Structure 1
Amino acid sequence: MFVSKLIGEKRRWRQYKARTQQLPANYRAAIDAIERYLMYFGRADGAGWASMFEDLAEIFEQSAANGTLIRKIVGEDPVAFIEAFLDNYPEGGWIIRERERLVGALDRAESEAPRP
């Protein structure tokens, strides 16, 4: 099950990359920059990543087909665009687990602290 899931996500990634390679050079440069940012600051994981990147490719494919300028897609604040885009996708399980781990560790530390 795990292997087939991993292979499926890898296949979707390759399809996404093939789609982005078909974009005009300026759109491809823009989506590459967004992709790089999402790799560092994205919140999804697994299938969430695949869906997010597929949707991103669709936005840029449609925009390129319509001749929409890149700044019309992302606006004056590209970070705000990406953050709004990310709001459409659930956070990855690893982030949720790490937040729970942080809260639990702080709760334990608080309960073990000597009382004045």
Structure 2
Amino acid sequence: MGIHDIIEGKKQWRAHTARVKALPPDYRIVYKEMQKYVFKVGAVDLPEGNLLAGIIDFFEEGVAAGKGALEVVGDDIAAFCDDLVHSAQRT
């Protein structure tokens, strides 16, 4: 990994965190819990792209639809993450 790759990775991460910060508070809280869970199980990058970026896309759609975070993911965040990781691994 060269210096260019490191710089590009940092730019992408900053853009990612800016998207998280733009979410409403309830979504940010749920996202942080999901991020911890995904980091713990080691499923950050799956074959079909970045799981965390997909979560933000999904959350932005929920915000646009006027739904709260728990309306989108349900009450059991860990179970939602498990289902998400398992379905992403199958693709």
Q: Same fold (TM over 0.5)?
A: yes
* 1:22-63 per-position Cα deviation (integer Å, ceiling 9, x unaligned): 011111111111112212123244x86x71111111111111
Deviation at 1:64, TM superposition (A): 1.1
Q: Which residue of 1 aligns with 2:54?
A: 55
SS of the residue 1:39 aligns to = helix
1:44 & 1:89 partners in 2: Cα distance? 11
Please tell me the root mean square deviation across aligned C-alpha atoms, in Å: 2.3
2:13 & 2:23 partners in 1: Cα distance? 16
Q: Which residue of 2 aligns with 1:83?
A: 82
- Contact kept, 8 Å, 1:30 with 1:70, in 2: the verdict is yes
- Contact kept, 8 Å, 1:63 with 1:73, in 2: the verdict is yes
In the superposition, the TM-score normalised over structure 2's length comes to 0.76
- Structure 2: gaps of 5 or more residues: none
Q: Which residue of 1 aligns with 2:15?
A: 15
- Contact kept, 8 Å, 1:42 with 1:86, in 2: the verdict is no
**Dislocated runs of 4+, deviation >6 Å:** none
Q: Tell me which protein shows more strand as a share of its residues.
A: 2
Aligned residues: 87
2:77 & 2:44 partners in 1: Cα distance? 19
SS of the residue 2:50 aligns to = helix
2:29 & 2:79 partners in 1: Cα distance? 19
Cα distance change on mapping 1:5 and 1:58 into 2, 3 Å:
same
- Structure 1: gaps of 5 or more residues: 91-116
Cα distance change on mapping 1:76 and 1:57 into 2, 3 Å:
same
Residues 1-116 of structure 1 correspond to what in structure 2 (within 5 A)?
Answer: 2-3=1-2, 4-45=4-45, 51-87=50-86, 88-89=88-89
